Amino acid sequence: MANWQEAQRLGYVPRCGNDNKENGIHLNLPEAVEYTASRYFTEEEGPLVLVIDAASFSETLEWRDPTVTEPWQRPLAKIDNLPLSTVIETNRLVPTVGNGARFEWVRDQ
């Protein structure tokens, strides 16, 4: 949650360490959200799902192939940061028990 507050102050979502390493912003398809959140975040971090409109930077997307552990395409936006103007919705990730994932994506619609 602190990262989201910082992003709102800055006007963009800054890159994380993995983004800097790959020189782009890692994005997730809907089917990858819960897996990715459970792999990279803790409950204390209060992760959010940012639903975005990538139209303004679609030409920069690099579509990486699925892997054995991540059987979906893995988009990487070759941009400096994610502008808040592309965020169309924020949703909660709720900690779960027993379904194999640590988080469940709750769509607040």
User: pLDDT digits over 39-96, tens only?
Assistant: 988 888 889 999 999 999 999 999 999 999 999 999 999 999 999 999 999 999 999 8
For the chain, domain boundaries: 2-106
CA angle centred on 5, ends 101 and 61, rounded to 5°: 65
Mean pLDDT across the stretch 17-24? 95
Burial class (CB in 10 A: 0-12, 13-18, 19+), 52: buried
Asked whether 25 and 15 are in contact (CB, 8 A), the reply is yes
* Average pLDDT over every residue of 20-28: 96
Measure the CA–CA gap between 81 and 53, rounded to whole angstroms.
Answer: 14
- Please enumerate in sequence order all residues whose Cβ is within 8 A of that of 100, keeping only pairs 6 or more positions apart, or say none: none
**Helix-then-strand count for the chain, H and E:** 3, 8
* 2-106 homologous superfamily: Protein of unknown function DUF952 (3.20.170.20)
CA-to-CA distance for 55 and 60, rounded, in angstroms? 10
